Structure 1
Amino acid sequence: MPPAIDVAREHRIPFAVFWVQPATTLATYYHYFHGHAEMINSRAADTACVVSLPGLHPLSIREMPSLIIDKDEASKMYLRGFGELFEQIEQDKAMVLVNTCDALELEATSLKALQSHLDVIAVGPTVPPAGAGEEAIHLFRRDEKKYMEWLDSQPAKSVVYVSFGSLGTYSQRQAEEILRGLRCCARAYLWVVRREGRMEEVERLIMGTGAEDDESTGMVVEWCDQLRVLAHPSVACFVTHCGWNSTLEAVASGVPPVAVPGWSDQSLNAHLVEEWGVGVRAERDAEGLLPGVELARCVELVMGDGGTAAKVKTNAAAYQEKARQAMAADGPSERNLGSFVNRVRHLVAAVEKNHA
């Protein structure tokens, strides 16, 4: 948020930036603003085109952050904001804390290579343990007892969990397709549909079909404690918009994602999911909808008896262990955060000395 940096500058207070997306995205934006914008812009219309940026594995245009590729006014506004942020970071030589670790992104982008351009500190994954305490903040009302008891009643590794995050809403057609796909799977499902984000048509669809109350096949809830759900032994698959928080939570829980990216960094996150081999990406149609048949196909790939499911489950367990080691007490993330705190102490002492 650039205004926070303006306040820090006005009071001559050193600042650091917490980057809440992957290091791969940070590197992509950095190189876009440092000599590669013209090349990327000239190829933006060809989604199959592959682009090579320093220190990164090749990325197709469709895998790059949408704010770089899309030319609508909202994307242009956000992109200008990112450009200003990089100018401020470099002008003030600010530290950048990134919600990632070497174990996750070393293959996609070398954090050491990025550190030759920016003062990057990996402090992730910043995923609290499931059930971290009642003091946890939840954005929306939830009936935790009801859905947890329902999950308890389901067999191990049998439930499809569907959530498109705190901002996602559904059109009537998209809700119909998701419901059609879930029923085609013939698997139990827990589907998060925020009441605040439901259009009247979607509300009627859910209530009219009994999806909200038909607990034999599935449950529709307004909101849930996602970490508790992902940690539940009955959950086998996470259909997600692939925001970075949700992606990290899936990895840390060992639950294979079906990635349905929409905008911003989500396509690149889906690319990482595929590169790690911990999940699959679902394809939207020409109108941007996730078809029910595609949803069912991807869920079956992850939860079925085929070779893809076996590989995904093995890789998901391996990356869960990598995340656990990164987040462990005195692990790399905690050590990096401790180093950051010590540097802040030195900066504070220097500022106090100058003010005196």
Structure 2
Amino acid sequence: MNLAHNKIHCLVIPFPTQGHINPMLQFSKRLQHKGIEITLVPTIYIFNKSMQELTSSITIEPISDGYDDVNGLFGAKSIETYLESHQKVGSQALIQLIEKLKNKGNPINCVIYDSFMPWILDVAKMFGLVSGVFFTMSCAVENIFYHIQLKELKLPVEGHDQVLLPGLLQPLVPSDLPSFVNDMGSYPPFLKMLVDQFSNIQEADWILCNTIYELEKHEVDWITKRLRLRTIGPTIPSMYVDKRLENDNSYGLSIYKPKTDVCMKWLSDCDDGSVVYVSFGSMAELKEEQMKEIACGLNKSNHNFLWVVRESEEPKIPKDFLDNIKREKGLIVTWCPQLDVLSHKAIGCFMTHCGWNSTLEALSMGVPMVAIPIWTDQCTNAKYVMDIWEMGIKAQANEKGVVEQEVVEHCIREVMEGERGKEIRKNATKWREVTKKAMDEGGSSDRNINEFIDKLVL
């Protein structure tokens, strides 16, 4: 498709965290490849910290959130304070950007924005622009928050009874629900933000979800009867999935510098399927006790492992474990190129917090998972990994919320060695092929992207 003559120009505005920016950047690449002009709009702080060296032909226009020089989101005294500033300052900055681009002869036709920022829709309406909401979480998780907004799921959820919602394929126990729902007192501002995603969503022209229809058919079918939702995932570089975008193997933003050469050289010396890859993402913080149990479980499993431990988390690793670790058996790094690692033939399973981006990447690479969810949507994702897609095991925590070393060892052995592991690996291969087909020409996600573009042109 070549739509350049139509002069379709989209602003793409992500929420200012790595896990939200990268999916929207990847989606932007897809639109650009099909002839749409894209301007990506991060916050000034994020741009200055992590995006100035970004290699992409996509235009970037940063705007203020009121915290340009003080660590952005994490520089605010509270999440409430930040969100208030982001809306107030960001609205005015966005208005000025839209007017600036119009005056330069490059007007905006469409605004695609992260669902965490519903106030952007009000700005889009001011200018009569087509609007697209972008969900960065699974459809199942979004359905849960939608039920809360509709007051069809009453909070707090009490007891141990199953929660059965029409928008979910299976009943969930409370511990399978997002942490903000299961434990309302944990992060009230985040719960409000997630429910408020739906405050004006009926007024949006499009709702785009970073998932695959075949993964969540029941969930997608339910919500599309109520909202104009289309699946457009997985939003990862093309060279790892369908290879339709030449040389598209860069994920984009990385807050941390990956130890690429160290990781890939070490993996090249390992046997096929012999390595347990362990990573809990860019934000999750583990208790010191949990780090110790994981270290001991990895050691007892007797499998090779590559463990990503951010610098801020390193002091939690037991010193005797670090002293005794043998280079040929295990490698600990502060960050790694996750897609390169997951696609490496040496990887046998992925011990993960089940953040949605990591989950989609494992699905796309066909890598079995050992799920140790920490917070937010990860508990629900882990439930689907184990019981719906059957390509992993959820490690059960004790009454203190800690997964003990014996459980860590058992789950690794079950996936890497056991009879159940054979079926898990078979399912992982199946989902890898499903994911690829969704992004292939004429696949479910590709069709939905084309439908969205066709409507923009009209």
TM range (shorter): 0.7 to 0.9
Q: CA deviation at 1:189?
A: 0.2
Secondary structure of residue in 1 paired with 2:391: coil
Amino acid paired to 1:113: W
1:209 matched to 2:358? The reply is: no
> What is the DSSP-based 3-state SS (H/G/I as helix, E as strand, rest coil) of the residue aligned with 1:272?
helix
In the superposition, relative to structure 1, how do residues 143 and 237 fare at CA in structure 2: closer, same or farther (>3 Å)? same
User: Unmatched 5+ residue regions in structure 2?
Assistant: 1-116, 241-246
Match of 2:407 in 1: 294
Sequence identity (%): 32
Q: Which has the higher contact order (CA 8 A, sep 6+)?
A: 1
Q: Render the CA deviation track for 1:203-223: whole Å, top value 9, x for unaligned.
A: 673885254xx3111000011
Structure 1 residue runs of 5 or longer lacking an equivalent are 347-356
Match of 1:146 in 2: 262
Q: Which runs of 4+ in 1 moved over 6 A?
A: none
2:370 maps to which residue? 258
Which residue of structure 2 aligns with residue 353 of structure 1? none
**Does structure 1 conserve the Cα–Cα contact (< 8 Å) formed by 2:177 and 2:380?**
yes
Instruction: Please state whether the residue corresponding to 2:382 is helix, strand or coil.
Output: helix
Judging by fraction of residues, say which structure has more helix. Answer: 1
For residue 313 of structure 2, what is the aligned residue in structure 1? 198
User: What per-residue deviation string (whole Å, max 9, x for no partner) do you get for residues 267-293 of structure 1?
Assistant: 111111112111110012222222111
Q: Distance in 2 between matches of 1:206 and 1:94?
A: 57
Match of 2:191 in 1: 79
Give 1:118-137 correspondences, 5 Å limit.
118-128=227-237, 129-130=239-240, 132-133=248-249, 136-137=252-253
Aligned-partner Cα distance in 1 for 2:322–2:430: 42
1:185 alignment counterpart:
301
> In terms of mean alpha carbon deviation, does 249-258 or 64-73 score higher?
64-73
- Residues 353 and 373 in structure 2, CA contact (< 8 A), matched pair in contact too: yes
Query: Of the candidates 167, 171, 180, which is equivalent to residue 287 of structure 2?
Result: 171
| Structure-2 residue corresponding to 1:282 | 395
Letter in 2 for 1:147: C
Aligned residue in 1 for 2:344: 232
Partner secondary structure for residue 309 of structure 1: helix
Give the TM-score, by structure 1 length. Answer: 0.87
Q: Write the letter of the residue equivalent to 2:194.
A: F
Amino acid at match of 2:133: V
String of CA shifts for 1:120-148, please: whole Å, max 9, x gaps: 01101212234844574322112211110
Work out the CA distance in 2 between the residues paired with 1:93 and 1:134.
31
- How does 1:1-356 map onto structure 2 within 5 Å? 1-38=117-154, 41=155, 44-46=157-159, 48-57=160-169, 58-72=171-185, 74=187, 76-90=188-202, 92-106=203-217, 109-128=218-237, 129-130=239-240, 132-133=248-249, 136-195=252-311, 197-198=312-313, 201-202=315-316, 205=319, 208-211=322-325, 214-274=326-386, 275-304=388-417, 306-346=418-458
Please tell me whether the aligned partners of residues 142 and 224 of structure 1 are also in contact (alpha carbons under 8 angstroms): yes
CA contact (8 A) 1:176 1:205 kept: no
Structure 1 residues 166 and 259 mapped into 2: Cα distance closer, same or farther (>3 Å)?
Answer: same
Name the aligned partner's letter for residue 212 of structure 2. Answer: C
Q: Secondary structure in 2 aligned to 1:37?
A: coil
**Count, aligned residues:** 333
Deviations 1:148-193 (A, max 9, x none): 0110000110000000001123333222111101000001000000
Query: Retained in 1: the 8 A contact 2:298–2:409?
Result: yes
Change (3 A) 1:135 1:325: closer
CA RMSD of aligned residues (A): 2.0
Return the offset for 1:295: 0.8
Question: Which stretch of structure 1 is more off in the superposition, 169-178 or 336-345?
Answer: 169-178
